Structure formats: structure tokens, C-alpha cells
Amino acid sequence: AGHPENFELPGVEVTTGPLGQGVAMAVGVAIAERHLNAVYGDDLVDHRTFVIAGDGDLMEGVNHEAVGLAGNLKLGRLIVLWDDNSITIDGSTDLSRNEDVVARHQAAQWHTCECDGLDADDVDSAIREALADPRPSLIRCRTIIGFGAPNKQGTAATHGAALGKDEVEAARAELGLEPVEFTVPDDVLTAWRAAGKRGAVEHALWNDRLESSGRKADFLHRLNGKVHDGWLRPYIDKLLTDLKPVATRKASEMALEAINAAIPATIGGSADLTGSNNTKTKNIAPLTAEDYAGRYIYYGIREFGMAAAMNGMALHGGVIPYGGTFLVFTDYARPAIRLSALQNARVIYVMTHDSIGLGEDGPTHQPIEHLQSLRAMPQLEVYRPADAVETAECWALALCSSGPSILALTRQNLRPVRTARSDENLSARGAYRLKAAENPRKVIILATGSEVEIALDAAEKLEAQGIGTDVVSMPCTERFDAQDPEYREDILPDVSNRDILRVSIEAGTTFGWERYTGLHGLRIGIDRFGVSAPAPDAYDHFGLTPDKVAVRVTDFMRKRGFQ
């Protein structure tokens, strides 16, 4: 395979197809190693992280973010070997690059050295130098792409295509190799087997240390990755005793206080929006170069770098990373979010300011298409809770998931919509009937997040007109889609929209909601960019108020000749 996935075969730690993300994930791997070392000590965690990277990896923007983060955290057990062959697909790197790559790393407080990448002894010497330095290291390995192919070496022609039979024969002659299909030189084979024996010895010694460790059970539990949700029920019971309006970003912070106390594997962070994302709780300290035992990372304005590093942390194991930014800035992190999904990496994205409800920051910061575009990504669960209880339930589901999750959270306060105790995590179904019709059912309103309270109030107005209305809260469409047909039929009966009208309400694009409303249902949302205005004014401007929703529903029913 050209870009093998981490789950396809042994020895592929991470999926690195998109250039630059391998280095950025390695930073996350190195962070996880340092953190677990600080928690469990050298006897159980004491490894290094090596990366082989090309010119393209070091050009990508995410590399700049990752290099800066690694330098700031002084990740001295991270070593990057740069295959400096000065070739990209288009040709010589001179076509597109004139920066001093080494100086850039030095400016980020990395150790750097150079070697002849075609001389094994010189490479070995450079690695030894890097091992002795306390800083992250970049080793510039000068190489020739396609070395030994006399007609193609040093050119872009060898980058992504086979040499061809004639050039292979010419290369064999050039390198003095026997004309056979494949051989491993004896000196290489001897060194390889010796390395294997050394590794077996080290592994046996490590197993001995593990067996004699008083923290064996705890350590293996951390690596196993399983978490409990024992914190959830007591937390919700306490929450129900003091119900009040709260933004779901604040509700997330409240839940995290309980989560971080109960689950020591969590490591939080934010891309320079800690106070807005509400991602740092009082009971965790920052993870810094001086204290790797901390559980909160200040990533700086590096959304892509943060997301990629969290992938590396999750794939290393022993930690559960979560990180925050504004939902609109998932655009900056999207390639790494995609690799979270592709690799089934348990990363939790805390994405706040999830709609026009963020207010005066205006269209540049107001997500419109983001929720649906993220829902379109396979193996990613997108949660948009409606109040503090749903927020806690969604956190529990994300923590127990085997893959990535996004929590889309509000800036504005939302009133409680879940006021009764339930032994079941209702959000686990993805959608559930929050309010049943009081009159004969004619309408089902589907809503998410901040629009659930609007749906409830609109339903009350419709009921006053004799129009029986269900309200369905749908915090996670992916989970609802995975339910059995009987449950889905109970929530959304497969009947004509002339018998029961399905209505969706979400403060974002209406694109995709026809999946649940049907083509002839009513989809209420925003199919243009937002406006700079206080949240209530913005909602009123786009018709997202109980009065306007109720009018739209009754007008729609009348125009369609609803029975």
C-alpha cells in the first residue's frame, strides 16, 4: 500500500499519508511518553520517538506548528531524521523553497546536526549525538532520491513511480548486485538480527520490572484504555437538584470537573481559547517542560497541530486527549480530525461557540456548514447537547467510545430541558422523544443543541392550536442512525408528511436534514452566512424563535393541504 493505515499491519504506528501529520502525531506520541514517564517512572515508561520525514513533511504548515510545540515543551526524546533529497513531485525543492530549514528548527529550540544519509556509520554517529542532547533533534540526512538508478537518480521521476525493468537492471549493475529478485546483504541481515536479540532482552527486562511493580494493575488498566462512567449518575443527580440556565460550554466544564477527578487518563488543552472553551478545570495543572505530570496543554494558536498531536497521544495509549477551539475553526483542524476518524483514535474535540448564538463576532466566527460537514465524515460522532444533563451524557459516551468525538457547545445560556431523573443515558440512542404530543400527533419537531428549547416552546404554541406535536432531541445523528429499525420507526414513523409532518430546527445549514424530514418535510435553519448581532437578535433575524417557528409550521401545513 502506498499509504498504509495503522490498523492494517504490525509496525505501522500511525497513518501518515497526508504530509506533515506524521511529524505532528509524533509530537503527541512524545508528549504521551513524557507524561506517563512522569506518572509511572523510568522503570515502566522510558522510550524515544523516532521519525523519518521528507522534504514535503517539513514544508507543510502543520510541521511549523508541531516544531514550535515540541520546542516549547522540550521534548528531548523526539528525534526526526530528515531525508533531505531536495526533490518534490514537481521537481527540485528550489522551485518552491528557499528557507533555511535547519535554522527554523534551531529558532524553535531544537538541536540539529547533519550527516551523509547514504553512509550508515555517519547516520549512526548523528543519532548518537541526538540521543545525548536534551532538546528535540532534527538530523539532516543528505540523500539522493533513487540512488543507484543511473538514469533517474536525483530526479522527481523516482518519487512516485516504479523504476521499470530496464532501470532496475541498470541499477543492479551500478550497485554491483547479483541479478536476482531480492537479497538482503549478509552484513545488514546480521545487524538486523542482532538488533532483534537486543530488543528481546530489553523486552524481557521490562516485563520483569512490570511484574515487580506495585503499580502493575494501574499501569495495565491505563494502557488498556477502558474507562468507566461511574461518575455520571451521581453527577447528574446532583445537577438535577440545582437546575438553572447554563451555556453548554460551561456545562462541559462542570462535567469535566467530575470527569478529571474520576479518570486520571484525561489530558486537556485548548488552542489559545481556554477561557472561552472552558476546557481547564481547577483540579488539573498545566503540562509543561518543567512538569510533564500536568494534565493540561496550552497549545497556542495551533488548531491543526493540536489535533494532530492529540491523535499521536491517543494512538500511543495510556491517555485520553481532549482539546478545544471554536467550532468554526475545525476548518483549520479538519485534516487531523479526518485522520482521527480513519485511525479510530479516541480524541475528543471540544468545539464551542457552535452557532450564530456566539453573537457580535459575526459571520467569520459563526459556523453554518460545519456541523453537517463533520457529520458527513465516517467514523466520527458529532454531539450537540441541549442542556447540562445532555452535555454530561455526551461526555460519557465520548469517553467510552473507541473513536473520535466532537462536542459542539454553545456560548449562550440554555435553559434546562431535561429535568427528570433517568437511569438510562438517553443521549446514547442519538435521538429520543423529549416531549410527546398532547393532542393527536400531527407534527414531529427534530432539534439539536440550543434549538431544542425553541422546539419545545414552538410545540407548546402548536398544541394550543390543537396540533399535537412531538419534540425529539437529537444530540447525535450517527448514534440514531445505528439504532435498530424498530426504535427509529418509533421516533420517526414512516408515514406520509401529510399524516405527520416532520420538521427540523438547527441554527446551521438545512442541507442533509431531508434525511430525517423527508423531501417534503420542513427544514428550518440558516442557508447563508451569519450576521454580527447579539444572539437574540441574530436568532430573530433568521426566524429561529418559537413564534416564528410555529407560524412557519402552520403556514407550511396549510399550503400543503395538511389533513
Could you read off the pLDDT tens digit of each residue along the chain, which spans 563 residues? 578 899 988 889 999 989 999 999 999 999 999 999 999 999 999 999 999 999 999 999 999 999 999 999 999 999 999 999 999 999 999 999 999 999 999 999 999 999 999 999 999 999 999 999 999 999 999 999 999 999 999 999 998 889 999 999 999 999 988 777 778 889 999 999 999 999 999 999 999 999 999 999 999 999 999 999 999 999 999 999 999 999 999 999 999 999 999 999 999 999 999 999 999 999 999 999 999 999 999 999 999 999 999 999 999 999 999 999 999 999 999 999 999 999 999 999 999 999 999 999 999 999 999 999 999 999 999 999 999 999 999 999 999 999 999 999 999 999 999 999 999 999 999 999 999 999 999 999 999 999 999 999 999 999 999 999 999 999 999 999 999 999 999 999 988 877 999 999 999 999 999 999 999 999 999 999 999 999 999 999 999 999 999 999 999 999 988 75
| Same-domain check for residues 195 and 117 | yes
In whole angstroms, what is the distance from residue 29 CA to residue 50 CA? Answer: 10
For residue 168, CA distances in Å to 11, 163, 173, 178 come to 27, 6, 9, 12
Please report whether residue 320 resides in a domain: yes
Assign residue 442 the CATH number of its domain: 3.40.50.920
Assign residue 68 the CATH number of its domain: 3.40.50.970
The per-residue pLDDT for 319 is 99
Please report whether residue 535 resides in a domain: yes
Does 167 qualify as catalytic in the annotation? no
Convert 91-141 into a string of H (helix), E (strand) and C (coil): EEHHHCCCCCHHHHHHHCCCEEEEEECCCHHHHHHHHHHHHCCCCCEEEEE
For residue 30, CA distances in Å to 136, 314, 418, 420, 426 come to 10, 11, 42, 45, 38
Using DSSP's 3-state secondary structure scheme, residue 462 falls into: helix
| Same-domain check for residues 244 and 388 | yes
- Grid cell, residue 108, equals 524553535
Burial-class residue 370 by CB neighbours within 10 Å (0-12, 13-18, 19+). Answer: buried
| Same-domain check for residues 42 and 177 | yes
| Same-domain check for residues 47 and 186 | yes
| Same-domain check for residues 132 and 107 | yes
| Same-domain check for residues 329 and 450 | no
> Within 13 Å of residue 315, how many CA atoms lie on the same side as its CB?
31
Please report whether residue 223 resides in a domain: no
The per-residue pLDDT for 185 is 85
Please report whether residue 345 resides in a domain: yes
Please report whether residue 210 resides in a domain: no
Total tally of structural domains belonging to the chain = 3
| Same-domain check for residues 397 and 531 | no
Which of 414, 440, 473 is the last residue before a domain boundary?
Answer: 414
Burial 397-421, CB ≥16 within 10 A → b, else e: bbbbbebbbbbbbbbbebebbbeee
Question: Domain range holding 389?
Answer: 232-414
- Grid cell, residue 427, equals 443521549
Which stretches of 319-369 are DSSP H helices?
330-343
Burial-class residue 322 by CB neighbours within 10 Å (0-12, 13-18, 19+). Answer: buried
Which of 386, 414, 442 is the last residue before a domain boundary?
Answer: 414
Cα three-residue angle 514-516-517, rounded to 5 degrees: 60
Asked whether 445 and 417 are in contact (CB, 8 A), the reply is no
Q: What is the DSSP letter of 291?
A: B
The per-residue pLDDT for 563 is 59
Please report whether residue 211 resides in a domain: no
| Same-domain check for residues 400 and 436 | no
The per-residue pLDDT for 17 is 85
Instruction: Rounding to the nearest 10 degrees, give the CA dihedral for residues 79, 84, 90, 92.
Output: 150
The per-residue pLDDT for 180 is 74
Q: How far, in whole angstroms, is CA 400 from its chain's centroid?
A: 15
Please report whether residue 542 resides in a domain: yes
Burial 247-273, CB ≥16 within 10 A → b, else e: bbbbbbbbbbebbbebbebbbbbbbbb
Please report whether residue 161 resides in a domain: yes
| Same-domain check for residues 248 and 319 | yes
For residue 466, CA distances in Å to 187, 443, 463 come to 87, 11, 5
Q: Which of 33, 65, 303, 393 is the catalytic position?
A: 303
| Same-domain check for residues 383 and 435 | no
| Same-domain check for residues 403 and 502 | no
| Same-domain check for residues 540 and 449 | yes
- Grid cell, residue 125, equals 554517529
Which of 365, 388, 414 is the last residue before a domain boundary?
Answer: 414
